[in-house]
Amino acid sequence: MYEREILNAIRKRQAQQHGKVYVREEDKAIAEDFYAAAMHEMRHGSRTRAKEIGRIAVAAYELYNPQTLDDAAPTRQIVKGINLPDIMHQDVVRQRLGL
């Protein structure tokens, strides 16, 4: 699954740039960023691109693996002009993007 390879590359790069160990909360923020990017593409009529990015968001949420309501609460209310739902996980992404 190339989505996980993309996410792992992002994790490594960010950890190297910041000189720190990667933490779980950053996985959630990455997933939110990909979800927002997918919704942005959907708003602007690029359904194919939205679904490609959405699959990466799904993979990111699967890696993050929210287990509680606190885990599923987004870190931000708005990302790149996109309002995030109160609860975020891979099934929300699938439903919103028709995956």
pTM: 0.79
pLDDT higher than 90, residue 92:
yes
pLDDT digits (tens, 9 = 90+) for 42-91: 999 999 999 999 999 998 898 888 889 998 999 999 998 999 999 999 99
pLDDT band at residue 41 using 50, 70 and 90 as cut-offs = very high
Contact call for residues 41 and 49 (beta carbons, < 8 A): yes
Coil, strand or helix at 78? strand
Quote the pLDDT of residue 1: 47
The total number of structural domains in the chain stands at 1
Who has greater pLDDT, 22 or 80? Answer: 80
Quote the pLDDT of residue 26: 76
pLDDT digits (tens, 9 = 90+) for 9-18: 677 766 666 6
Q: Which domain holds residue 70?
A: 2-97
Which residues, other chains included, contact 42 with Cβ-Cβ below 8 Å and sequence gap of 6+? 50, 97
